[in-house]
Amino acid sequence: MRRLVLGNWKMNRTVSQSIALVRSLLPLLPRSADREVAIAPPFTALAGVAPLLKGSAVGLAAQDLFWEDEGPYTGEISGLMLQDAGVTYVLVAHSERRRHLEETDRVAALKVRAALRCGLKPILCVGEDETERAAGRARDVVRAQMARALEGSVPGETPHLQIAYEPVWAIGSGRAATPSQVAEMHDLIRAELRGLYGETGSVVRVLYGGSVTAENVDELMRTPGVDGLLVGGAALHAGQFARIVSYGL
């Protein structure tokens, strides 16, 4: 299984800034057969960045999508539009969208279905907040998020599906989860995937996200069960992101 490192730029960088960042980044990235790299600029920069990535080893991702393919949904972006723009991966239900925009597991399920329907590869984000972890509910929260968001999916779709475990308390805090915490939750997610899909659940990549840096990447990628990374702030700096992608080399 090739590991995936995806940089989520969030609401940062204009079109011109995004193009400049990609041009700085591409020469720094290693070519390695055991890993895959993708970046998720804001919607406005997708069309400007896509031509720069053609012929490179870097894939294009989107940060969100709407659950319908077209229609009277002012301000929304459909999976068909993303596919036409050259997008391969799309984040679904990132914790910031759950928290700030009140996205629910039902919405996540609709978006997973839309992504798969449009030929995109969804990355479903799951994770507990600090209060839930302190109360000993982290496992129950993640288990419920997965069950609801993956309702209706079938084993034949697993090669296109990714799960990102992103503990809410670690995102942007500079405090990544410990290797033991990551291993425990990734084991749980893998068990849930097998329960949902049988042995085909083993092909789903399980990523870790939450304060991933150039300093902790090697330890995180040595953690059992980690099939890749969802990188936030460090992805906005070409040198830092290239170092993260180069883990172990």
**What structural domains and CATH numbers belong to the chain?**
3-240 (3.20.20.70)
Helix (H, G, I), strand (E, B) or coil at 228: strand
Residue 113 pLDDT greater than 90, yes or no: yes
> Which residue reads 């406005």 in tokens?
44
Rounded distance between C-alpha atoms, residue 95 and residue 230, angstroms: 12
Task: Residue 121: name the closest of 54, 77, 59 by CA.
Answer: 59
Give the pLDDT of residue 1. Answer: 85
Find residue 209's DSSP bridge partners: 230
Rounded distance between C-alpha atoms, residue 97 and residue 4, angstroms: 22
Task: Residue 7: name the closest of 41, 50, 35, 36 by CA.
Answer: 41
pLDDT band at 87 (very low <50, low <70, confident <90, very high): very high
Mean pLDDT of 80-106: 97
Give the pLDDT of residue 100. Answer: 96
Mean pLDDT of 148-175: 93
**Both ends of the chain: CA-CA distance in Å?**
17
Give the pLDDT of residue 173. Answer: 80
The two tokens of residue 50 are: 């896509």
Residue 37 pLDDT greater than 90, yes or no: yes
Which of 94, 96, 157, 186 does the annotation list as catalytic? Answer: 94
Residue 174 pLDDT greater than 90, yes or no: no
pLDDT band at 172 (very low <50, low <70, confident <90, very high): confident
160 is annotated as an active-site residue: no
> What's the whole-model pTM score?
0.97
pLDDT in tens, 191-247: 999 999 999 999 999 999 999 999 999 999 999 999 999 999 999 999 999 999 999
Give the pLDDT of residue 31. Answer: 87
Which percentage of the chain shows pLDDT scores above 70?
100
Rounded distance between C-alpha atoms, residue 41 and residue 8, angstroms: 7
User: 33, 249 in Cβ contact below 8 A?
Assistant: no
Residue 171 pLDDT greater than 90, yes or no: no
Which of 36, 157, 166, 192 does the annotation list as catalytic? Answer: 166
The two tokens of residue 175 are: 């405090």
Rounded distance between C-alpha atoms, residue 205 and residue 64, angstroms: 19
Least confident among 102-111, 126-135, 165-174: 165-174
Mean pLDDT of 24-48: 96
